[in-house]
Amino acid sequence: MPHAKKTPQYLTGQLLMAMPGMPDPRFQRTVIYMCAHNAEGAMGLVINRLFGVITFSELLEQLEIRPTRSVADLRVHYGGPVESGRGLVLHSADFIREGTMMVDDDVALTATVDILRAIADGRGPRHSLLALGYAGWGPGQLDAELQANGWLTAESDEALMFDRDLETKWERSIAKLGVRLSMLSGEAGHA
């Protein structure tokens, strides 16, 4: 009997949570929303860490965008270590323009300055998260890290993704799995 070809498991649209023993300090206690994952590699945005160097107002000023409403409460997130000068907006699917990439039915990603103008004018998506930089993996790299017990995965949900409480997002993401942090081990093959 011939063996059925196994279809790879891709994580587009899912959450990736760093295991407690994550050795890379750039990813310790991070939650990453996976925007793309396929045979060519993977790309996601850290959704629980602020960039910390620039405010949204300062970013708009640099881009010569004059907001028509207060943007003081909008924050700039650290999306990851790759291309940290590149802005990406993860957002609800109620805002689709040329250049928008649909991640799934409910979430989209836009990397054009037009979305920043729309947000500044109050015409943007219902939910959004602006990030500078992203997390990226080459072909098979993320799969190897998953097999080495570096990450946990969970279904995403809009409430958690766009929640402003960044301090507890990692713990709450792991809790979605029904697992207590004290039960996790960073060693492969152990729980």
Instruction: Give how far Cα 115 sits from Cα of 23, 52, 99, 136, Å.
Output: 35, 21, 10, 23
Separation between Cα atoms, residue 89 and residue 149, nearest integer Å: 29
- Residue 31 DSSP code: E
pLDDT of res. 9: 72
Per-residue pLDDT of the chain (191 residues; tens, 9 = 90+): 444 444 457 899 999 999 998 888 999 999 999 999 999 999 999 999 999 878 888 888 888 998 887 777 789 999 999 999 899 999 999 999 999 999 999 999 999 999 999 999 999 999 999 999 999 999 999 999 999 989 999 999 888 999 999 999 999 999 988 877 666 655 544 44
Residues facing 25 on adjacent strands: none
Separation between Cα atoms, residue 65 and residue 83, nearest integer Å: 22
- Domains, the chain, with CATH or none: 14-84+127-183 (3.40.1740.10)
Give pTM, 2 decimals. Answer: 0.88
Separation between Cα atoms, residue 124 and residue 122, nearest integer Å: 6
pLDDT of res. 7: 42
